Amino acid sequence: MKKGKATIHEIAKALGIDSSTVSRALNNSDRVTQKTKDKVLAKAKELGYQRNLIASNLRRNKSNTIGVIVPRISRHFFSSAIAGIEEAAFLAGYNVIISQSMEKLDREKSSLNNLWSNRVDGILISVSMETEICDHLKFLRDNDVPLVFFDRHCPDMEQSSKVLIDDSRASYEAVTHLIEKGCKKIVHFSGPQSLEIYKNRLKGYRRALDEHGIPFNKDLVITSTLMEVDGKDMIKELMDKHKDIDGIFSANDVAAIGAMKYLKKQGVRIPEDIAIVGFSNEPIAEAIEPSLTTIDQSGFELGRTACNLLIENINSKEKVLDRTLILNPTLIKRESTNRK
């Protein structure tokens, strides 16, 4: 017999007991004495027995696999969240399959179908910028597939679990910081208003202006997909119309950095002429000159928390758990707002 190829039947034959007893012993059944379990485990080790996890999981209708869908793995926030997810999954004995939507609804749907076909036990998702109608996600819920949103979610799915950050509070703190540094005409780079995170970041921006007696000007809010080129194009358009802009609050770091690069080429001093705050705390935010003040979203902790919530849902006897967990972000103050 080749080592590593032993079967339950061969263990049973070697010990002179029934194969059903060996199976129960390997599964730690209470119907088998500890003495028998010890004998079976010792013989299994001697013969090089390896449990067939795939077959075992199929019998239990369980794959011990979690599916994860993110917009872009290249974004530091999402890669950090994935690290947190994998840490929690590993400790709980789960494997992880990761997909990217690349901010496209059709890719998000395709990824969901693939995960469904691979019989994952549950799915973690941060929806794409194109996701406005969530019927494809409701299908999973209606078929009792545990689903947890993290960072971005679908507000029309009332019965759903989600782990979010307090986007409104974070934006309020960011804009308040700009106002305290003397900014009076503050631009907001926003993401699509179909997504709750960008709605809430706009709310925080408006609340900070209102509480400090600064009138809201809709012309100073521009929506885009928040890529680096968007940041450059948005600030160029605004500077042509509003020469007295003295602050920028961007709903992500990438667009903020695009604006910074353009302004520096135009000879605009940061933060003396225009102070800037981003969102996400990408690694480049600290490396760029001047370093970018930003909001840290605690990606690792958010991913870990979301994964633990999903595993709780998987193990729950309830078909759908409706829980929302809110994490508090942190304002990281750097040179881009360091006015004297």
SS (H, E, C) 117-176: HCCCCEEEECCCCCCCCCHHHHHHHHCCCCEEEECECCCCCCCCEEEEECHHHHHHHHHH
- Model confidence at 290: pLDDT above 60: yes
Element (H, E) at 260: helix 253-265
| Pair (181, 159) in one structural domain | no
Residue 3 pLDDT level (bands cut at 50, 70, 90): very low
Give domain status of residue 3, yes or no.
no
Q: Which of 111-120, 166-175, 238-247 has the lowest mean pLDDT?
A: 111-120
293/171 same-domain check? yes
* Three-state secondary structure call for residue 295: strand
Tokens standing for 76?
């530091």
273 falls in which pLDDT band (50, 70, 90)?
Answer: very high
The pLDDT tens digits for 183-229 are 999 999 999 998 999 999 999 999 999 999 999 999 999 999 999 99
- What pLDDT is stored for residue 58 in this prediction? 46
Cite the DSSP H helix spans in 29-147. 34-47, 53-59, 76-91, 105-117, 135-142
Question: 90, 75 in Cβ contact below 8 A?
Answer: no
User: What SS3 class is residue 296?
Assistant: strand
Do residue 161 and residue 175 come from a single domain? Answer: no
What pLDDT score was predicted for residue 54?
46
Least confident of 1-10, 142-151, 193-202, 236-245: 1-10
- Return the closest-CA partner of residue 174 out of 314, 61, 267, 281: 281
User: What integer best gives the mean pLDDT of the chain?
Assistant: 90
Q: Cis peptide before 271, with omega less than 30 degrees from 0?
A: yes
| Measured torsion, CA atoms of residues 111, 159, 168, 106, in degrees rounded to the nearest 10 | 20
Lowest-confidence pick of 76-80, 157-161, 186-190, 243-247: 157-161
Query: Are 161 and 172 in the same domain?
Result: no
Q: Which amino acid is present at 74?
A: S
Q: Is position 2 within any domain? A: no
Residue type, position 264, single letter: K
Helix (H, G, I), strand (E, B) or coil at 47: helix
Q: Can you spell out the DSSP letters for 188-206?
A: EEE--TTSHHHHHHHHHHH
Residue 234's pLDDT is: 96
Residue 303 has pLDDT above 60, yes or no: yes
Sheet holding 324-327, edge to edge: 95-100, 65-70, 122-125, 147-150, 161-165, 324-327
Would you say residue 156 lies in a domain?
yes
Distance (Å, whole) CA 224 – CA 291: 23
Print the domain residue range for 242: 167-297+332-337
With respect to residue 274, please indicate whether it lies within any of the assigned structural domains: yes
Confidence of residue 20 (pLDDT cuts 50, 70, 90): confident
More confident residue, 307 or 322: 307
Residue 209 φ/ψ region, left for φ over 0, alpha for ψ in the -120 to 50 degree band, beta for the rest:
alpha
**What is the pLDDT confidence band of residue 60, given thresholds at 50, 70 and 90?**
low
Query: Domain with 218 in it: what CATH number?
Result: 3.40.50.2300
Q: Based on C-alpha coordinates, what's the Rg of the chain?
A: 26
pLDDT at 40: 86
Average pLDDT over residues 133-143: 84
Nearest to 123 by CA among 55, 198, 67, 172: 67
pLDDT score of 269: 96
* CATH code of the domain covering residue 36: 1.10.260.40
Please give the tally of structural domains in the chain. 3
Tell me how far CA of residue 192 lies from CA of 129, 202, 223, 224, 251, in angstroms.
7, 11, 6, 6, 10
Least confident segment among 39-53, 105-119, 144-158, 273-287: 39-53
State which amino acid sits at residue 154: C
Q: What percent of the chain has pLDDT over 90?
A: 66
pLDDT of res. 260: 97
Task: Examine the domain organization and report whether 184 and 288 are in the same domain.
Answer: yes
Q: Is residue 252 part of a domain?
A: yes
Q: Are residues 179 and 286 in the same domain?
A: yes
